[in-house]
Amino acid sequence: MSRIHVNTTINGDATDYLCEAEDTLLDVLRDQLDMTGSKEGCASGDCGACTVRLDGRLVCSCLVLGAEAEGRTVETIEGMADGETLHPLQKNFIDKAALQCGICTPGILVAAKDLLERNPDPTEEEVRYWLAGNLCRCTGYDKIIRTVLETAAEMRGAA
């Protein structure tokens, strides 16, 4: 089977890989690059566990082909912290117990960071609708929503 050679940028690093035509970006990240932080909950765009940013836009990486990343920039959970320094959302998710099992957490963090970059002062309703594509079965969302709102306030205070 002939494979496709792809050159892309992942979390700021130039990266290349070979993938089959049918491989999704999620398959490539997880199976070829061992970046297993992005999770597969459904492979059909319904759970958001695989959320990454592609050229600055949120996508379900299970709905993007690996070959489509050619020449583009991909941001995953693995790139969210700056070295040792966690993003305020990451820090607060731990401190405020916004995760239980944690399987939804990478997708939710990537999506919430994107929200706060676009809208530093979201309402509760805006956070709820923004994260409506990210399923969490453990928390009932309460602590997640609160933590995103509190982090937004904290980041506005710091800015």
Q: Which residues contact ligand FES by CB under 6 A?
A: 40-43, 45-50, 60, 62, 99-104, 136-139
Is residue 66 within the footprint of another protein (CB under 8 A)?
A: no
Is residue 13 within the footprint of another protein (CB under 8 A)?
A: no
CB of 158 to ligand FES, least distance (A): 27
Q: Contact 116/151 with Cβ under 8 angstroms?
A: yes
Read off the DSSP letter of residue 82.
B
CB of 105 to ligand FES, least distance (A): 6
Q: How far apart are CA 76 and CA 105, in angstroms?
A: 12
Span of 2-10, 65-73, 113-121, 127-135 interacting with another protein by CB under 8 A = 127-135
**Total of residues contacting another protein (CB under 8 A):** 61
Q: Which of another protein, ligand FES, none has residue 24 at its interface (CB below 5 to 8 Å by kind)?
A: none
Residues 6+ positions from 7 with CB-CB distance below 8 Å: 14, 15, 16, 70, 71
Residue type, 104: C
Q: Which of another protein, ligand FES, none has residue 60 at its interface (CB below 5 to 8 Å by kind)?
A: ligand FES
**What residues are paired with 60 via a beta bridge?**
51
Rounded to the nearest 5°, which phi and psi values hold at 12? 90, -10
